[in-house]
Amino acid sequence: MNASLNPFSSASATANDDPFVGNTSNNTEPDLVIALKDVVAVLGNFPALAGVSITVQRGEIVLLKGPNGAGKTTLLRLCAGLLPVERGAATILGFDLVTQRQLVRPHVGLLGHQNGLYLDLSVRENVEFWGRTVGASAHEIAGAMSRMGVSGRLADVGVRKLSAGQKRRTSLACLVARRAQVWLLDEPHAGLDAAGRDELDATLGQAASSGATILVASHELERAGGLATRSVDVVAGQAITDSNESQGTE
Amino acid sequence: MITVARLIAAKDLRVERRSKIVTNQVLPFAGITMVSFAFALDKQNVLDTVAPGLVWLATMFSLLVIVQRTFAIETDDGALDAMRVAGVDPRAIFVGKAMALGFQLLVLEAMLFGAAVIFYGESIPSNNAFGSVVLLVTTMLSATCGLAAVGTLYGGLAAGFKGSETLLPLLTLPAVAPVLIGATKAVESAVGTSGAVVSEGWQWVGLLTLFAVAAVVGGALAFGPLIDD
């Protein structure tokens, strides 16, 4: 992706400055970010994923739909490198999930029901902490905060005092600061009011148009469906449909 | 790894400075424990004999509270999980958290030794004051390394379980028993309890150092698998 196309980038930014772009040198097909084929994953003795096949291209926002217990969260955790692949073939950003599960983790961000923030630290301190764990510069950290709308007045506010929507944005700023290229979001709209949901949708749309690849598991089909470029039904541990909705980013 | 460990240690200490849980709750708890021992024993000759052990016993109890706290800040909003997902080196998490815990323990121990002087009338023998102080400081440093490593290891393990508040003491107190014994004996030598001399204390410092090295190395190796799925 050319940095000049990135609405977040400053005029002097290069592709290497863009935290959404990152290094994909391990990937033989640069635009193919997620490729799962007949993947089986087991929780205890229960096959939580029973032959999932799905491919996701760079910049897509894919909605994972399905009833409770269908395997949406398990699929996200597998893509984050937190669960082993029992059978099948799976690559994320060119890393083999079977043999390189640990190596995938620094490149993905998983945002579940919790935000992964330190409540006694300020917004700035949180984003700085997560950014510096990957060696992000002060410029990158400031950029991440600015892009997620948590710079300025909010920057020095303690996270404990933030609204649910502001915490979500802070958490996303942390993902940007630590250069996550694949965003795995589990019910991201939960607990947000209408304004917070609008803010989040705008943020995700901008991130995707800048090259981030986003998987969203959600029950709120109207809201998340409007955001997604494509949706996938997950039922009984299998991805059974893969439909284009031709919305959102290109 | 060291850079990330320092980041984690600095973050932990910043959180504690901000929340003041250690200064407003743990230090008073430790002080009250020392005063309670004084009331319970209430005989100067008994207090003279057992004071070093009471100091380290109060340290152990306070260690449990600090470890609970240091992992509560990681689990309140899923930050420990976020670190795993982010691929942060588990050894860096272990070393960073142990460094912050060790610093807090050193402050606590200094306060407890001060309390022992005030409440129990403990003092450094004047005939070999320098040797006693060196032994005391070395004992504190080596014991603290061991306590911080074991506390961090079991704190990380217990953080993933329901009922971690009760699981942590069950795991930690038996594991740090060698530190309790060694540190008590070494401090007895440093302050001359029951005629003990400084030279007798160094073998206990050796034991504490060995324990600390084993706990740090073992903890760094085991921490990743323990906190991972």
The pLDDT tens digits for A11-22 are: 333 333 444 444
Segment-wise mean pLDDT, segments of 10 residues, chain B, 229 residues = 93 92 89 88 81 92 92 89 87 95 95 89 84 94 96 89 80 93 94 84 95 95 82
Task: Give me the pLDDT at residue A164, please.
Answer: 84
Q: Closest to A129 (Cβ–Cβ): which among B7, B19, B85?
A: B7
**Quick check: A109 and B85 CB within 8 A?**
yes
Judged by a CB distance cut-off of 8 A, whether residue A83 touches chain B is yes
**pLDDT average, residue stretch A137-161:** 88
Task: Give me the pLDDT at residue A22, please.
Answer: 41
Residues of B in contact with A115 (CB under 8 A): 77-78
**Quick check: B87 and A106 CB within 8 A?**
yes
**pLDDT average, residue stretch A145-170:** 87
Q: A241 pLDDT exceeds 80? A: no
Q: Closest to B19 (Cβ–Cβ): which among A81, A120, A129?
A: A120
- Nearest residue of A to residue B92, measured between CA atoms: A133
Task: Give me the pLDDT at residue A243, please.
Answer: 55
A135–chain B nearest CA distance, Å: 9
Name the fold adopted by A28-244: Rossmann fold (3.40.50)
Task: Give me the pLDDT at residue B53, please.
Answer: 92
Q: pLDDT class for A242, splitting at 50, 70, 90? A: low
C-alpha B158/C-alpha B226 separation (Å) is 9
Count residue pairs from A and B with Cβ separation < 8 A. Answer: 71
- Nearest residue of A to residue B82, measured between CA atoms: A116
Place of tokens 């958290």: B97
Indicate the pairing of strand A32-43 with strand A87-92. antiparallel
Task: Give me the pLDDT at residue A184, please.
Answer: 92
**Quick check: A116 and B82 CB within 8 A?**
yes
CA B15 to chain centroid: 19
Q: Cβ contacts of residue A152 below 8 Å, gap of 6+?
A: none
Task: Produce one character per residue of B62-83: b if its CB has 16 or more CB atoms within 10 Å, e if not.
Answer: bbbbbbbbbbebbeebbbbbbb
**Quick check: B84 and A125 CB within 8 A?**
no
**Quick check: A133 and B86 CB within 8 A?**
yes
Task: Give me the pLDDT at residue A21, please.
Answer: 40
ipTM above 0.90, yes or no: no
Q: Closest to A83 (Cβ–Cβ): which among B7, B76, B229?
A: B229
Residues of B in contact with A119 (CB under 8 A): 73, 76-77
Total residue length of chain B: 229
Q: Cβ contacts of residue A214 below 8 Å, gap of 6+?
A: A60, A61, A62, A182, A183, A185, A204, A207, A208
Q: What is the residue extent of each domain of chain B?
A: 2-227
Task: Give me the pLDDT at residue A26, please.
Answer: 52
Q: What is the residue extent of each domain of chain A?
A: 28-244
Give residues 180 to 219 of A whose Cβ lies within 8 Å of B.
none
- Nearest residue of A to residue B2, measured between CA atoms: A133
| Max CA separation in chain B (angstroms) | 57
- In order of A103, A132, B9, B215, B226, the CA distances from B94 in angstroms are 19, 17, 10, 11, 11
Task: Give me the pLDDT at residue A246, please.
Answer: 42
C-alpha B74/C-alpha A54 separation (Å) is 33
Task: Give me the pLDDT at residue A247, please.
Answer: 41
**Quick check: B81 and A108 CB within 8 A?**
no
Nearest to B167 by CA among B159, B175, B176, B178: B159
**Quick check: B73 and A120 CB within 8 A?**
yes
Cβ pair A117, A167 in contact under 8 A = yes
Q: Cβ contacts of residue A161 below 8 Å, gap of 6+?
A: none
Q: pLDDT class for A210, splitting at 50, 70, 90? A: confident
Judged by a CB distance cut-off of 8 A, whether residue A108 touches chain B is yes
Over pLDDT 90: what percentage of chain A? 18
pLDDT (tens digit, 9 = 90+) per residue, A100-127?
Answer: 888 888 889 898 888 999 999 999 999 9
C-alpha B173/C-alpha A149 separation (Å) is 47
Over pLDDT 70: what percentage of chain A? 82
pTM to 2 decimal places: 0.84
3-state secondary structure of A136: coil
Judged by a CB distance cut-off of 8 A, whether residue A73 touches chain B is no
Q: How many CA atoms lie within 13 A of B104 on its CB side?
A: 36
Q: Closest to A119 (Cβ–Cβ): which among B7, B76, B87?
A: B76
Q: What average pLDDT is seen over chain A?
A: 79
**Quick check: A118 and B86 CB within 8 A?**
no
Read off the amino acid at residue A114.
Answer: Q
Q: Which two tokens stand for residue A186?
A: 């589990």
Q: Closest to A132 (Cβ–Cβ): which among B7, B18, B19?
A: B7
Task: Give me the pLDDT at residue A76, please.
Answer: 92
Q: A166 pLDDT exceeds 80? A: yes
Task: Give me the pLDDT at residue A29, please.
Answer: 54
CA A44 to chain centroid: 26
**Quick check: A114 and B78 CB within 8 A?**
yes
DSSP type of residue B127 = G
Q: Closest to A105 (Cβ–Cβ): which among B7, B76, B87?
A: B87
